Amino acid sequence: MSVNYFFNKNLIVSASMAFILSACGGGGGDSTTSSNNNGSTNNPATPNSGNQAPTNVTISSVSPTQNSVSVSWQTANDDSTASNQLTYQLHLVEGGVNFEPSASSQKFSAVNSTSTVITGLKAQTTYGLKLLVKDAQGLTTISTLIPFTTQSIPNSGGGGSTPINTPPSNVAFNSVSAVDYQTIDVTWKTAADDTTASTALDYGVYVTEGTTDFVPSAALLKFSAKNTTQTTLTNLKAQTNYALKLVVTDKEGLQTLSTVSVVKTPNLPIITLSKLNDTGVTTCANNNTWFADCSSSNLLSFASLNQDAEVGRDYLVTTAQLNKMGAGMAGFDFSKIDNTGQKLANNAPQWACVLDNVTGLTWEVKTTDGSMFDKTKTYAWYNSDYLINGGDVGHAKEGQNTSAYIDYANTQKRCGYNDWRLPTKSELDSIVHYGRFNPAIDNTYFYNTQNGFYWTADSVAVGVTSAWAINFSNGGESASYKGLMYYVRLVR
């Protein structure tokens, strides 16, 4: 570089100051794009803003096929925007030479994504690829150029380019159907491939909410396995459209995507809360016993009396006329619920709550972990709301009371819910099994039930210092002083 020397001292000082300001970025000139330490380029922050452009903007893998390319990249970092809020764009041009990203070169854009597949490319063609990451302030960083060449078309004549492996074919769904409001069953055809046996192909299902075509990404892959033609998608939303794509991958990593398939889950089932449970009694009385078979030949003079076991849900189940959504003793119909609120299979070995499919009420199941949910814990009756406490708040007992327990269950989101409460007398009575004792409940669902009194929310009308409780050793009811320490089973 040549330098002109001036003999005028003032001119020398002025030129020196201008050089210093220019080197420091001052003087009001236009900002320029700079390189960071990973080879990517930054769009600088607004002067004095303090915000920096994203870093760690790197393409990690590029896998071209004949007409597509699979691209994955690192999760970028930013000083002001969470990584899962950053926008990722892929820009691609034909030729493999350096270029500036523009609207015409953009082939993909999404928030919180680390991979995609770009399709519709030419065979045996060189392309240039760049990743652009943008934060919430609009600051961007562009990765270094990654050139690649798509694979050639196989030559069937014996000369020219070397034949290459082709992606899987016959990639299509057989059926996509909503089983219920949170479950979709999916089946597909067995794909074919020129180098990979059908039993060794990888099958995956991408799922997203919506009704239109979409670009698959790792975050949307909900199922992946070899040598299978079906799966069940669970924990979905009710009355929601879902778009699905099937992807099949051979041993060389070549992939084929199916066309999009859309299905809508139904609305939540409507359960009529006015329905009542039966008593659980499935035997009749005759001249000799309370536990006779209810056939007329056994009832003797007690025949044609329409005894408890001869009517209602209990009668229907003993005569094989009752269909249940779940299972349970006698006419009871219960389903197991896990600690996140999801319904489980009838034979699930562990569960935290029980859904009564007849009344629509959900009940907690007691534990043995020593927490406030433990089966041995007892509480005094307490409610500070005079609109519903009958005129007497009860007894706080230094936090060992029903109100504190309800607050604890809601804070812990027992079984995924925060609207737990004490049951009314009629609600708690609805799960009493009067056909058994010690405990008087279906303990195949309500395990850890104690043979003792459980509080209800109802104060006694003629003695407001007392509230109703139900004894689960025999189903009996008691007007009990609110200061007594009884068991609690919450409901919602």
Q: What does the pLDDT look like over 278-306, one tens digit per residue?
A: 898 989 988 888 888 888 777 877 887 88
Region 361-373: what's the mean pLDDT?
97
Q: Among 56-70, 126-140, 153-167, 395-409, where is mean pLDDT lowest? A: 153-167
The neighbouring-strand residues paired with 77 are 55
Q: Which pLDDT belongs to residue 8?
A: 36
How far apart (Å, rounded) are the C-alpha atoms in residues 153 and 156?
A: 9
Region 398-417: what's the mean pLDDT?
96
Average pLDDT for the chain: 85
Check residues 8 and 236 and name the one with the higher pLDDT.
236
Compute the residue count for the chain: 492
Share of the chain above pLDDT 70, in %: 86
- Place 155 in a pLDDT band, splitting at 50, 70 and 90: low
- Place 164 in a pLDDT band, splitting at 50, 70 and 90: low
Domains of the chain: 34-149 (2.60.40.10), 173-264 (2.60.40.10), 334-481 (no CATH)
Q: Which pLDDT belongs to residue 154?
A: 66
What pTM value is reported for the model? 0.47
Q: Which of 486, 466, 416, 411 is nearest to 235 (CA)?
A: 416
Region 34-50: what's the mean pLDDT?
46
Q: Quote the Cα angle for 14-20-23, to 5°.
A: 140
How far apart (Å, rounded) are the C-alpha atoms in residues 306 and 309?
A: 8
Q: Which residues of 52-69 are buried (b: 16+ CB within 10 A; e: fewer)?
A: bbbbbbbbeeeebbbbbb
Q: Which of 179, 178, 181 is nearest to 270 (CA)?
A: 181
- Place 247 in a pLDDT band, splitting at 50, 70 and 90: very high
- Place 149 in a pLDDT band, splitting at 50, 70 and 90: confident
pLDDT at position 1 over 60: no
- Place 14 in a pLDDT band, splitting at 50, 70 and 90: very low
Q: Which pLDDT belongs to residue 49?
A: 53
Can you tell me which residue has the tokens 């200061």?
483
What tens digit of pLDDT does each residue of 85-104 get?
999 999 999 986 788 999 99
pLDDT at position 41 over 60: no
pLDDT at position 238 over 90: no
pLDDT at position 39 over 70: no
pLDDT at position 170 over 50: yes
> What secondary structure does DSSP assign to 172-241, as a single string?
-EEEEEEEETTEEEEEEPPPB-SSS-GGG-EEEEEEEESSS-----GGGEEEEEES--EEEE-SPPTT-E
Region 274-280: what's the mean pLDDT?
80
In this structure, the number of other CB atoms found within 10 A of the CB of residue 408 comes to 16
pLDDT at position 168 over 80: yes
- For residue 178, CA distances in Å to 234, 264, 265 come to 10, 7, 5
- Classify residue 327 as exposed, middle or buried by CB count within 10 Å of its CB (0-12, 13-18, 19+): middle
86 phi and psi angles, rounded to 5 deg: -75, 145
Q: Which pLDDT belongs to residue 47?
A: 41
Q: Among 5-19, 31-45, 445-459, where is mean pLDDT lowest? A: 5-19
pLDDT at position 38 over 60: no
Region 417-442: what's the mean pLDDT?
96
pLDDT at position 156 over 80: no
Region 70-86: what's the mean pLDDT?
92
Region 237-258: what's the mean pLDDT?
91
How far apart (Å, rounded) are the C-alpha atoms in residues 203 and 192?
A: 12
pLDDT at position 17 over 80: no
Region 57-86: what's the mean pLDDT?
91
pLDDT at position 147 over 50: yes
Region 360-382: what's the mean pLDDT?
97
pLDDT at position 36 over 80: no
